[in-house]
Structure 1
Amino acid sequence: MSYDSVLLDVEERYVKQTYRNRCTVLTANKVDTLTVPVKSENHGLTKDVRIDYSQDWVRRHLGCLQAAYGKSPFFEYYAPEFNAVFQKKYEFLIDLNYDLLTICLRLVGVKKEVTYNLSGLENTQNIIKNEVSEINNKKNKNIFKYYQPETYYQTFGNDFVSNLSIVDLIFNMGPEARSVLLKSSKIQ
């Protein structure tokens, strides 16, 4: 939250097994992974990754979000915005991600311009690029140098489950989500 804007690097190589097309949510029984299926081969450019609609992933995502967060304090207020995005039929993953990111930033009160970076990140921004690569890698457990999750109310369970999708925070904490994020950030 310390940078002036958010750049979506559309010239980077798309890598499978990252958070570019998946997120985790807390259901009554487990942490569940929601994945947007894609048609692209590994290592194509991010801007060229197409969404695969041959699978009924939209219905699964909406059903899972309803089951996971339908009883959360702020679900009824924010769910229509997410539902509207999922009902659009995006051709490219980057466009879906842009709209979801824009909604999430607005709902947590973060006023940042989100833009597509069409020229790739400059060499002077290698540090930022490396940080983003570390965070995007779902297998990397070293993200705690950037972020130490602050506990907050979750609908299911007595034990706090960290590192879920931001929708968990939004649906459970509503307007207080920004405060939780600020307390969690290690980047000044």
Structure 2
Amino acid sequence: MKTLDKQSVLIELQYLPSIEFFSCLQSFSEIIIESNENYVKQSYRNRCYILGSNKTEMLVVPVIDGNKKILIKDIRIDYSQRWDVNHWRTMSAAYGKSPFYEFYSDYFKDIYHKKHSFLWDLNFEILTMCLKLLRVNKTIRQTQSYEKEVNSTVFDARNLINPKNETIHSQFYQPSPYQQNFGNEFVPNLSIIDLLFCRGNQASEILKKSKPI
């Protein structure tokens, strides 16, 4: 990954982002969030993966009019499906007995209790909270307009991290195994909450080890 001459990374907001997402951010001093794109369905913008007792589980935030051409900041969350209750119940079942669940769970619970109307607001608060818990200090700003091409000091990572890409081919992430809750085989690139709940204050060090050389 040719990032040595890049100071900033341009990337989209994601829901409970993957370890690959945070591994990518490590190489840059500034994070530029793409705030003027149109919503893209079936992406990490409204979904994440966690490890349950039987298998990897996908959590999806339902949105209203996701099939239409709508600016990402204008996408509303559909609460008719009680997704927030289901997500929290699923996360609690998966991580309730994790070593660091009691230390971090309230931070996330407080975010869900706010019942954000817009997906953007939910994802942005989750991102800033995760960076704080990981003790990652980065400058964050949002785009002022959508630009297909970016200047030479910015690495364009938009849409490079998505569920369709295999982790083994990632330019941002080299899995560094850690003890997970279930099974003997390590499952890479889950949501950052898997790393936080399982490894706590060691999460930032594991992230550093997950960065490709």
TM-score, scaled to structure 1:
0.91
For the residues of structure 2 that align with 1:47 and 1:156, how far apart are their CA atoms?
Answer: 36
Partner of 1:133: 159
Contact 1:28–1:156 (CA<8 Å) still a contact in 2? Answer: yes
1:56 to 2:56 alignment: no
What whole-Å deviation, never above 9, does each CA across 1:69-98 have from its counterpart, x for those lacking one?
Answer: 001000000000000001112111011000
Contact 1:24–1:33 (CA<8 Å) still a contact in 2? Answer: yes
Alignment of 1:96-115 (within 5 A): 96-115=122-141
Partner of 2:190: 164
For the residues of structure 2 that align with 1:70 and 1:87, how far apart are their CA atoms?
Answer: 18
For the residues of structure 2 that align with 1:128 and 1:13, how far apart are their CA atoms?
Answer: 20
Contact 1:9–1:121 (CA<8 Å) still a contact in 2? Answer: no
Give the number of equivalent residue pairs. 185
Deviation at 1:40, TM superposition (A): 3.0
Name the aligned partner's letter for residue 138 of structure 1.
Answer: P
Partner of 2:208: 182
For the residues of structure 2 that align with 1:20 and 1:113, how far apart are their CA atoms?
Answer: 21
Structure with the larger helix share: 1
SS of 2:80's partner is coil
1:148 to 2:174 alignment: yes
- Structure 1 stretches of 4+ moved >4 Å: none
SS of 1:133's partner is coil
For the residues of structure 2 that align with 1:103 and 1:26, how far apart are their CA atoms?
Answer: 21
Name the aligned partner's letter for residue 35 of structure 1.
Answer: V
Cα RMSD after superposing both structures: 1.7
Deviation at 1:125, TM superposition (A): 4.4
For the residues of structure 2 that align with 1:178 and 1:25, how far apart are their CA atoms?
Answer: 19
For the residues of structure 1 that align with 2:151 and 2:101, how far apart are their CA atoms?
Answer: 37
- Structure 2 residue ranges without an equivalent (≥5): 1-25
For the residues of structure 1 that align with 2:37 and 2:151, how far apart are their CA atoms?
Answer: 13
CA pair 125-60 structure 1, distance change in 2 beyond 3 A? farther
For the residues of structure 2 that align with 1:8 and 1:40, how far apart are their CA atoms?
Answer: 22
1:26 to 2:45 alignment: no
Deviation at 1:5, TM superposition (A): 2.2
Deviation at 1:22, TM superposition (A): 0.5
Alignment of 1:35-50 (within 5 A): 35-42=60-67, 43-50=69-76
For the residues of structure 1 that align with 2:46 and 2:145, how far apart are their CA atoms?
Answer: 22
TM-score, scaled to structure 2:
0.81
SS of 2:175's partner is coil
What whole-Å deviation, never above 9, does each CA across 1:11-62 have from its counterpart, x for those lacking one?
Answer: 1121111000000000101100111110133342211111111111011011
SS of 2:155's partner is helix
SS of 1:159's partner is coil
